[in-house]
Amino acid sequence: MKILITGGAGFIGSAVVRQIIRHTHDQVVVVDCLTYAGNLDSLAPVSNDSRYAFERVNICDRAGLDRVFAQYQPDVVMHLAAESHVDRSIDGPAAFMQTNIIGTYILLESARQYWLGLSAARQSAFRFHHISTDEVYGDLPGGDEPFTETTPYAPSSPYSASKASSDHLVRAWHRTYGLPVLITNCSNNYGPYHFPEKLIPLTILNAIAGKPLPVYGDGAQIRDWLYVEDHARALYLVVTQGVVGETYNIGGHNERRNIDVVRTICCLLDELMPDKPAGIGHYEELIAFVADRPGHDLRYAIDGAKIRRELGWRPHETFESGIRKTVAWYLHNQTWWQRVLDGSYSGERLGLSR
């Protein structure tokens, strides 16, 4: 297959690209506009492969998308391009509305026009896979059962509301126009190449530098943590074996309180990096509780029974094995995260045109 991956230079997107190039015979075309979260360094391990191509195109650019579809003739679209950081959506929601809602609409229309021009056999085989989040389901009370594919949507933040909107658009394009779509909703991802503003990499890098480890509120918020390489395997399985029109929830089966995640990282760093910054006995001493985020959901949890039952997927990593791999990766890949912190990774600094 030839797979077009939007947002392929992002955290999850780059994991999917690396997974496909390393473990299949498929071709990949990455479409990414290289905002702050897009990083070509994350694609460096596979970028010299003849089955890889990169196009710097914004999903809001209809002409650019039409050109990419015409030039590369993909068999599959995996749509991961999105603004995804809740704090940023609270401070500046407009970008989230533009990318996640309008961008998804423009991509759907470009894909639909391309799909209508295919032969009957290629139309039947074509797939549009939209990758979304468990945050569209909103807050989950502590004693309630995890989210299923039929849980009603109740988004709490501008980010999750924009992703819920994009999910609805994808379903509408299937129902109204017959576009062969698949949707997945995942729990919190973590692992190598994660942008340092997110909880786990922020905690690791702040601890290394001897900086405070900020924890919202009392840290009691619960998330289900999914190792990004497990997620990449699941996404490829869905796009190749999933049933058109269906939604699949992908979870890590690893519910943890945020404060416990931070403490686990501190313990691992005590073991793996015993030479601490001056004045620190244990990394936990750096934990600093800060004012809670507005509208902060207390708990997310995914019921992954459907994808396990119908497609045979389950995560390989426990939280304990995955977080150890993640901490070790950051300790051994300072060049990658240092280029993020100093800004030298950006497309503009690399001389790439928009």
Say whether 255 is catalytic.
no
Say whether 283 is catalytic.
no
Which one of 135, 167, 230, 255 is the catalytic residue?
Answer: 135
- CA torsion angle 177 171 99 124 (round to 10): -50
Query: Could you tell me how far CA 58 lies from the centroid of its own chain?
Result: 17
Which one of 137, 159, 236, 300 is the catalytic residue?
Answer: 159
User: Rounded distance, CA 327 to CA 192, Å?
Assistant: 8
Map tokens 């912190």 to a residue.
341
Say whether 229 is catalytic.
no
For CA atoms 47, 52, 57, 58, give the dihedral sign.
negative
- CA torsion angle 8 9 13 17 (round to 10): 70
Which one of 134, 167, 229, 317 is the catalytic residue?
Answer: 134
* Catalytic positions, written as ranges: 134-135, 159
